[in-house]
């Protein structure tokens, strides 16, 4: 099952790469630019075929992909001078920017559709219900034991177990007071006195049962303790609510991705520390970490809804992150090339104001050292993240 998770992730990654390049490809064709190659992967060619003026193919290393558009920058001269009129660099600035942004747009579109489809096909996870998902077998001796779910022979049975509560029961009242969500129920339990008697009314198999028990105390924890946790219930919304959910989740991932990128400098020194999970380094990872998380989710002893939800949200989050990073105004990212085009147009506008001719395209040869330096930084950070995920992984799925 773990291997199946890896396969799912790798296939999803390749599909994402293909969609990214398809975005560039379709718009370049739409604007009349000459596209000579569309390949998935790098290295030696495994297979290729030519359709019209474009060669399509698969390379040996599935580590990305590329689309070859004639005249992508000033260093790229067409093999046939007659193609110069259809080169990327001769297209209007707006069209060039649209082609460059199309790759990230495809990532964003895929992510939105995955989240939208998840909502309609599986449902939206809701853990604020009063349906019971966990019954603790004992009263833990400390908060640490409680967090770890540790029980010993000396620990007394939990009030929930003594009462006869079962996984799947839906609590409708606590001490005679109706409750409709986990927040209400949790507050009612915590506000009670440890050692006090209590009754829990549940719906089980269509029947109402009122079960008595006596609340307990966990050392270091304020309030009373019953020993229950909510089930995660997946509720399928209407299409309008699904759109709203997809939009809000998309926004949350964007915000989280921005925080992860901002925290990256502080995270790097902690990548190989024992407490990585509790630091900023626990919020960043590589494709290896994401693939391992996918495998762990598929192999986990949980319901299929949780597995599908986790995997789809992980893939959607990865696409959003890649789309955002790709649009950073740094070479060699697409966003860096967009920044160059914007600079060219601003420079041309200032030249017109001064009555001077358009300076034309930026000499990319002068930017090669900057582009190469940033590329090496990206490679170095990527290698560090991969190594950290191999020797010091973070458990994204949870215990």
Catalytic residue positions?
21
**Rounded-to-integer distance, Cα 263 and Cα 243, Å:** 30
The dihedral sign for the CA sequence 192, 197, 202, 208: negative
Distances 298 to 15, 16, 160, 164, 293 between C-alpha atoms, Å = 19, 20, 30, 32, 9
Number of Cβ within 10 Å of residue 156's Cβ equals 12
Max Cα distance, the chain (Å): 89
Helices (H) and strands (E) in the chain, counts: 10, 10
**Rounded-to-integer distance, Cα 390 and Cα 273, Å:** 13
Torsions phi, psi of 172, nearest 5?
-110, -15
The dihedral sign for the CA sequence 243, 249, 253, 259: positive
For residue 339, give the H/E element and its range.
helix 334-353
Alpha helices in 268-363 (DSSP H): 287-299, 304-326, 334-353
* Token representation of residue 48: 């290729």
The dihedral sign for the CA sequence 303, 300, 243, 259: positive
């Amino acid at each position: 099952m773990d291997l199946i998770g890896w396969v799912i992730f790798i296939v999803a990654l390749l599909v994402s790469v293909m969609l990214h390049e398809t975005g560039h490809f379709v718009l370049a064709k739409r604007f009349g630019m000459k596209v000579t190659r569309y390949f998935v992967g790098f290295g030696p060619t495994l297979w290729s075929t030519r359709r019209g003026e474009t060669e399509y193919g698969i390379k040996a290393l599935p580590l990305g992909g590329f689309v070859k558009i004639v005249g992508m920058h000033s260093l790229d001269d067409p093999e046939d001078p007659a193609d110069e009129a259809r080169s990327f660099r001769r297209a209007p600035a707006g069209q060039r920017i649209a082609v460059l942004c199309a790759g990230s747009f495809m990532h964003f579109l895929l992510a939105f559709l995955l989240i939208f489809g998840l909502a309609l096909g599986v449902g939206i996870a809701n853990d604020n219900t009063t349906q019971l998902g966990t019954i603790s077998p004992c009263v833990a001796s400390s908060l640490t034991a409680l967090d770890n779910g540790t029980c010993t022979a000396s620990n007394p049975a939990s009030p929930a177990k003594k009462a006869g509560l079962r996984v799947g029961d839906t609590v409708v009242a606590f001490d005679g007071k109706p409750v409709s969500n986990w927040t209400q129920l949790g507050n009612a339990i915590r506000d009670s006195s440890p050692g006090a008697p209590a009754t829990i009314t549940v719906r089980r198999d269509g029947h109402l049962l009122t079960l008595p028990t006596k609340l307990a105390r966990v050392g270091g924890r304020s309030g009373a303790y019953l020993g229950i946790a909510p089930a995660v219930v997946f509720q399928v919304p209407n299409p309008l609510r699904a759109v709203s959910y997809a939009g809000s989740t998309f926004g949350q991932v964007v915000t989280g991705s921005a925080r992860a990128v901002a925290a990256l400098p502080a995270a790097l020194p902690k990548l190989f520390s024992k407490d990585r999970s509790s630091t900023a380094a626990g919020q960043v990872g590589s494709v290896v970490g994401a693939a391992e998380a996918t495998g762990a989710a598929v192999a986990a002893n949980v319901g299929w809804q949780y597995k599908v939800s986790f995997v789809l949200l992980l893939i959607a989050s990865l696409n959003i992150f890649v789309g955002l990073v790709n649009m950073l105004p740094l070479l060699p990212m697409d966003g860096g090339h967009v920044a160059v085009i914007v600079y060219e147009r601003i420079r041309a506008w200032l030249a017109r104001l001064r009555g001077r001719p358009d300076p034309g395209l930026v000499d990319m040869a002068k930017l090669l050292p900057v582009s190469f330096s940033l590329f090496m930084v990206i490679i170095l950070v990527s290698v560090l993240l991969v190594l950290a995920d191999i020797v010091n992984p973070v458990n994204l799925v949870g215990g």
